[in-house]
Amino acid sequence: MPAPRAKPAHLGAEYAAQFGDEAVAAAYRHRPPYPAETFDIVERLLGRRPRRVLELGAGTGDFTIGLAPRVDHLVAVEPSRPMRERGRSRSGGAPIEWLAVRAEDGPFDRRFSAVVAAEAFHWLDWHAVLPRIGDSLMPDGWLILVERGLAEPVAWDADLRPLIREYSTNRAYAAYDIADELEARGLFAIGGRARTGASPHRQSVAEYVESVHSRNGFSRARLAADAARRFDAALEALLDRHCPDGVVVLPVDARVTWGRPVAT
């Protein structure tokens, strides 16, 4: 039997480890929120009550907190202490069970109406976790993948891309679609896709710059101090040309893909 096809190099464990950095967790609050429509789409996939949902890679709770009111019990798995602590503190009295374990070691001995991953599944060990997800899903349950993005490129996109390539510590990065990557490996059968409309998000130039430091390849803990300063200065100068009032407006959308793990 041939060896399983490897993940793309830019999604390797060394890059996933950056999300354990305090600096990345601190910058996460500057990411734009998910459009409200995202949760309407996901709720339609959750089936009848009681809805018991497992979220893998819950991070600081950006998706978790919006999902919680729509389910009866939510288990949020997050191995990064600084991420998990922020998520737990933000979630208040919501019915969320936070677990300090890797997604691959989640509570798959339970049965779930759905398993959800928002901007997280690309970091997991796909071959290890997908069979376990399949075993834990109810017969009509879905694995739901959610990705936050931009409905259209921003005006400064062409100038931003060279800056990203110059300063990112992830030298192997290439554009990808997580569901397509899984399907191409025979691991996932796509059941459907949906996309929200654009939801404008306004923030200051300083907040936008800081949000970049929550991304893969831009942890302040892993960039040389002089490199971080030079990147910030170059990005601020770029934004000053395009956002002279000091306000960045982002056309945020979300893509939702659902399906089932393929039994191997």
Tell whether 59 is covered by a domain.
Answer: yes
Tell whether 31 is covered by a domain.
Answer: yes
pLDDT tens for each residue of 82-129: 999 999 999 887 889 999 999 999 999 999 999 999 999 999 999 999
CB 106 within 8 A of CB 54: yes
* pTM confidence score: 0.96
pLDDT tens for each residue of 182-232: 999 999 999 999 999 999 999 999 999 999 999 999 999 999 989 999 999
Q: What percent of the chain has pLDDT over 70?
A: 98
At 95 the pLDDT is 83
3-state secondary structure of 50: coil
At 3 the pLDDT is 67
Name the residue range of residue 143's domain.
9-151+175-197+252-261
CA distance linking residue 242 with residue 237, whole number of Å: 9
> Which phi and psi angles does 54 have, rounded to 5°?
-110, 125
22: domain CATH number is: 3.40.50.150
Among 5, 7, 153, 125, smallest CA distance to 57 is for 125
- pLDDT exceeds 70 at position 75: yes
- Across the chain, mean pLDDT equals 95
CB 103 within 8 A of CB 83: no
Q: Which residues contact 108 (CB under 8 A, 6 or more apart)?
A: 132, 133, 135, 136
- pLDDT exceeds 70 at position 77: yes
Tell whether 142 is covered by a domain.
Answer: yes
Tell whether 98 is covered by a domain.
Answer: yes
Mean pLDDT, range 233-255, rounded to an integer:
97
- pLDDT exceeds 90 at position 1: no
Tell whether 211 is covered by a domain.
Answer: no
